Amino acid sequence: MRVLGIDPGSKTTGWGVIEGDGRHYRLVECGTIKASSSQKFPTRLLKISTGIEEVIARHSPDACAIEDGFLATNVKVTLKLGQVRGVAMLAAERAALDIHEYSPRLVKQTVVGYGNAEKHQVQEMVRVLLSLASVPQPQDAADALAVAICHFHHAGLAQRILASEGRVKLTSSTGIRRRVSRSG
């Protein structure tokens, strides 16, 4: 499976593409989409959307994992982040990707093991998990890779749960379940 991770930002949006089987990952490519703060905000949104569309066209991911918004102390910042997330999700939806959202805390918990981990801890764990010689730069790209890794962990768990539920069958309208044998 190939996953595009996105760390949305109104000035710098990080992205990273990894592929793997849920246990082992490989970095395909990562980078950022930078929008000048001197540009009008709608122009920045267009640049971010176009940049994500180009990444999707170049790497053909199977899914898109995007960091969920957080409530900033500045309402304007929160609204702008929501708009960036919106154009990123629209680009992924246009490409018919499965879209999954993860909170910053869950990403840190999954990748580092601690929901209040520092940025440098996340970067170091991304380096370790992807077997990289150095920490991925810039930081926004490393954060996007962490989101993609988070998706691999949670998507793998969801698939195992669905697979195990496939072995359970309702036997009547009473809702009693019984195990179904896989043989014959």
> What span, in angstroms and rounded, lies between the C-alpha atoms of 69 and 75?
12
96 in Cβ contact with 139 (< 8 Å): no
The full DSSP string for 9-29 is -SSEEEEEEEEESSS-EEEEE
**At a CB cut-off of 8 Å and minimum separation 6, what does 4 contact?**
15, 16, 17, 52, 55, 56, 59, 61, 63, 64, 65, 92, 97, 148
In the chain, what are the domain boundaries? 2-179
Class of domain 2-179: alpha beta
Angle separating helix axes 139-165 and 104-111, nearest 10 degrees: 80
User: What is the per-residue pLDDT across 143-176, written as a single tens digit (0 to 9) for each?
Assistant: 999 999 999 888 865 555 445 555 544 444 444 4
> What span, in angstroms and rounded, lies between the C-alpha atoms of 75 and 67?
18
User: What is the per-residue pLDDT across 19-55, written as a single tens digit (0 to 9) for each?
Assistant: 987 678 899 999 999 999 899 999 999 999 999 999 9
On the question of pLDDT at 59 being above 90, the answer is yes
pLDDT of residue 172: 41
Count how many Cα atoms sit within 13 Å of the Cα of residue 98 in the half-sphere of its side chain.
Answer: 10
Q: Which two tokens stand for residue 56?
A: 């999707």
What is the set of active-site residues?
Answer: 7, 67, 140
Amino acid at 101: E
**At a CB cut-off of 8 Å and minimum separation 6, what does 139 contact?**
14, 119, 123
pLDDT of residue 174: 41
Closest by CA to 136, choosing from 148, 149, 125, 127, is: 127
